[in-house]
Amino acid sequence: MAVPKRKVSRKSRGQRRSTDALTRPAYVEDKDSGELRRPHHIDLKTGMYRGRQVLEPKEDI
């Protein structure tokens, strides 16, 4: 059976667990349309990414 060689301090334990915290996904306001989108993602409504037309804009059905 695996047994720790020495006690893990509260500091080391906390540093290890600090990466487990849940964070909200980041959203930024689009400069052109003003809608919220994820950073470094294509705006699906307009099809723009970094000022270039990457996809054809989606049409509402």
- pLDDT of 61 over the 60 cut: no
Share the mean pLDDT of the chain.
89
Residue 32: the pLDDT is 78
- pTM, rounded to two decimals: 0.55
Residue 58: the pLDDT is 67
Closest listed residue to residue 55, CA positions, set 46, 28, 35: 46
Place 35 in a pLDDT band, splitting at 50, 70 and 90: confident
Average pLDDT over residues 22-27: 92
pLDDT in tens, 38-60: 999 988 888 888 889 998 886 76
